[in-house]
Amino acid sequence: MSLGVAIVGCGLIGHKRSKALAGARLTACADVVLARAESLARTAPGAVASDDWRAVVSRPGVDIVVVATTNQSLAEIARGAVEAGKHVLVEKPAARSVRELDPVIDAAARARRLVRVGFNHRYHPAVQKAHEVFASGALGELMFVRGRYGHGARIGYDKEWRADPALSGGGELIDQGVHLIDLSRWFLGDFTTVSGFAHTYYWQMPVDDNAFLTLRTAREQTAFLHVSCTEWKNLFSLEIYGRDGKLHIEGLGGSYGVEKLAYYRMLPEMGPPETTTWEYPRDDQSWALEFAEFIDDIRLDRQPSAGLVEARAALAVVEEVHRQSGYDVGRSRTGRTS
């Protein structure tokens, strides 16, 4: 029989998750606003709604809890869910800080439950194809990764929850930045040197709207990353350089442009590379693919990737860049939650 899913946090992301359950069934919904939980529950026969996430994550018939709340609740609910014996898919960044995440890691280990973190960009088709080419060895040894990711402005952005560090744990860096960090680490491995500068250039808000990162592995492979919510023209670009070729992922569909992967293969005689490009004009299936893989994780009792290890690595980078840039979001937040 198919797995039962509870969704905690029934906003935009909760709704997207409910449509990408890869054969699992929505059986329960929770939201601090009961009407939102009810609205989502109505889309699935027999699903119940509640404004008490603790009640929902304890229900029998729930095998997986999806945590899709704003950032300040992600860790607490994920922890509660694993302690209730459920597997968990928690949206990125999974917590506002490493300090907040570590108890989730401990709890999951004790409860022997699996936690997947919603770094869904890994499941975009151009990213999947890029990782396949990389994994085939066709790029040779990797040298560096270059990433640019950002969106333009919308009026009132500085009044949204993301602009409140108590809710978000930070600005653009913890929002879109963790995707770039996670993707870079997926290709390059762990970063041992972190240098970065986050800054608030445009918006009147206490969190960063831009961050510039130079991350290095122990082998001096570099991830050179910029994330921005003053990008003006929406942009996603990730360039991956090996000794034998280059991959360039661009676009995420919609206002980010058609998703593409270009593969530049160096020839023995050097000069202009052999170039092949694949385009992915179809609708984003990344959420469903990610969830299907989680169902496989559970079936095979396999540690999800991306999971808590990956989230912790990304958050550690975020915190170090915040620290280097003079933001105290981590400290004040930690203070608040203690």
Alpha-carbon span 214 to 226, nearest angstrom: 9
244: its two tokens: 């034998």
For residues 15 and 148, which CB has a smaller minimum distance to a second copy in the complex? 148
Establish if 256 lies at the interface with a second copy (CB under 8 A): no
Task: Give 145's strand partners.
Answer: 223, 240
Q: In the bound complex, what is the minimum distance in angstroms from residue 229's beta carbon to a second copy?
A: 11
Alpha-carbon span 50 to 66, nearest angstrom: 15
Q: In the bound complex, what is the minimum distance in angstroms from residue 186's beta carbon to a second copy?
A: 20
Q: In the bound complex, what is the minimum distance in angstroms from residue 272's beta carbon to a second copy?
A: 4
Establish if 155 lies at the interface with a second copy (CB under 8 A): yes
Whether 186 and 142 have beta carbons less than 8 Å apart is answered as: no
315: its two tokens: 């958050």
Q: In the bound complex, what is the minimum distance in angstroms from residue 206's beta carbon to a second copy?
A: 16
Stretch that binds a second copy, among 36-44, 46-54, 145-153, 179-187 (CB under 8 A): 145-153
For residues 22 and 153, which CB has a smaller minimum distance to a second copy in the complex? 153
What residues contact residue 39 under an 8 Å CB cut-off, 6+ apart? 10
Establish if 220 lies at the interface with a second copy (CB under 8 A): yes
The three-point CA angle 175-181-184 to 5° equals 145
Nearest to 255 by CA among 278, 284, 277: 284
Establish if 278 lies at the interface with a second copy (CB under 8 A): yes
- Rg over alpha carbons for the chain, rounded to the nearest Å, is 20
Q: Is 42 exposed, middle or buried (0-12, 13-18, 19+ CB in 10 A)?
A: exposed
Within residues 189-218, the interface with a second copy by CB under 8 A covers: 195, 197, 199, 201-202, 210, 212, 214, 216
Establish if 269 lies at the interface with a second copy (CB under 8 A): yes
Q: In the bound complex, what is the minimum distance in angstroms from residue 269's beta carbon to a second copy?
A: 7
For residues 2 and 275, which CB has a smaller minimum distance to a second copy in the complex? 275
Establish if 281 lies at the interface with a second copy (CB under 8 A): yes
Alpha-carbon span 240 to 262, nearest angstrom: 10
Alpha-carbon span 21 to 5, nearest angstrom: 8
Establish if 224 lies at the interface with a second copy (CB under 8 A): yes
Q: In the bound complex, what is the minimum distance in angstroms from residue 235's beta carbon to a second copy?
A: 9
Alpha-carbon span 24 to 89, nearest angstrom: 13
Q: Which residues in this chain contact a second copy in the complex, by CB under 8 A? A: 143-144, 146, 148, 152-155, 195, 197, 199, 201-202, 210, 212, 214, 216, 220, 222, 224, 226, 228, 230-234, 241, 243, 245-246, 255, 264, 266, 269-273, 275-282
